[in-house]
Amino acid sequence: MGTFRNSVDARALRFAVGFPLMLATAFVVCAFLIRSDLPDPLAVRWDGAGAAGFAPFEAVVSAGAAMIVLIGWAVLVQAVPLSRPAVMRRIMMGAGLTMSLFITTVLAAVLVGQVGLENARESRVDAAVLALGSGAALGLGFVMGFVFKADERWSTDDDRALQVALQRELDPDLARDSVSLWVHARSSVFVMLGIATLLPAALLTIAVPWLAAVLAGTALGAAAFLFARIRVDRSGLKVFAAGFVRVMDVPAAAIDSATPKEVKAADYGGWGYRSHGTTTALLVSSGPAVVVDRSDGRKLTVSGGSATTADNVAQALSRVAARARRNGGTPES
């Protein structure tokens, strides 16, 4: 029993079970309130000539209530398991509410269309009730999908967040030793790249579409690799070209020194990722950078954004390297 409770959203389960029951109860009560104004039997099917199928009042009300409950349960219960993605649970909660209300609307339109008639053969489904009720059902379903809080229970993400918070509480220097930043080329570079590639691509679109697509793809690829993500923590330095391609991974114990420095991209072969002998660089522009000397004699250079951020990265690397050496870490290749 405890496993079941831990695997479901209790509040969502109560709503999924209770809402269709309450809606069906309300439908039955309202149907009996207007029973004296309804013909017997009731029309339940129509064709071009009018009513073509009939059923007793009790059968119509009972079947309608059962449909509201069973279909409502079938859809709403899909939002109950905690193992499902939050977006899916939101969608199913909204869809369940809409379906339950729509079925009730159709049944109400059938009954209201027969109020005051002696013979159900003259009846029609009330279009006003059907239209207004359907619109309300759809709107309320959208609202429910947005307001339903699908992440109310403790999750693995909460466990990780708690672990990080505890580590920072027990080790106040942990936050200082963790740095993450993005660096990118100057805006003028992207403008120049767009003029050099996207403008010709636009002109070639009609004549040679495939060549225009190649030029546009080349421009987007080149622009992406003028971005870089730098991450420093106690494990060392990681640099990702375009934000996701890891081009540098230096363990903290392998760092001999880290120094902020003004560099020229031309001295390293230009912008982007470059590797020559024992020197590796990822520069998105000339200017502030961080030069990392490894204990094996190799040297790494990465753009640091501004002078302040470059100095911050260099200091963080120096601290994590010193900590790794004190803790007896061994340099890794």
Tell me how far apart the terminal alpha carbons of the chain are, to the nearest angstrom: 52
| Residue 241 bridge partners (DSSP) | 228, 245
Kindly list the domain boundaries of the chain, sorted by start residue: 2-147, 165-185+226-326
Residue 122 DSSP code: G
Closest of 246, 251, 210, 214 to residue 230, by C-alpha: 246
CB atoms within 10 A of CB 277: 7
User: Residue 99's pLDDT band (boundaries 50, 70, 90)?
Assistant: very high
* Cβ-proximal residues to 224 (8 Å cutoff; 6+ apart), any chain: 242, 243
CB atoms within 10 A of CB 190: 15
User: Residue 240's pLDDT band (boundaries 50, 70, 90)?
Assistant: very high
Question: Does residue 250 have a pLDDT over 70?
Answer: yes
User: What's the pTM value of the predicted model, to 2 decimals?
Assistant: 0.52
Q: What is the pLDDT of residue 330?
A: 53
Q: What is the pLDDT of residue 258?
A: 92
- 193-226 tens-digit pLDDT: 888 877 777 777 777 788 878 888 888 888 888 8
CA distance 174 to 166: 11
* DSSP-based three-state secondary structure for 124: coil
- 25-77 tens-digit pLDDT: 999 999 999 898 888 888 888 887 777 888 999 999 999 999 999 999 999 99
Question: Does residue 272 have a pLDDT over 60?
Answer: yes
CA distance 32 to 36: 8
Q: What is the pLDDT of residue 231?
A: 93
> What is the CATH architecture of 165-185+226-326?
Roll (2.30)
* SS3 letters across 43-69: EEEEECCEEEEEECHHHHHHHHHHHHH
- 156-168 tens-digit pLDDT: 667 777 887 787 7
- 122-140 tens-digit pLDDT: 888 889 999 999 999 999 9
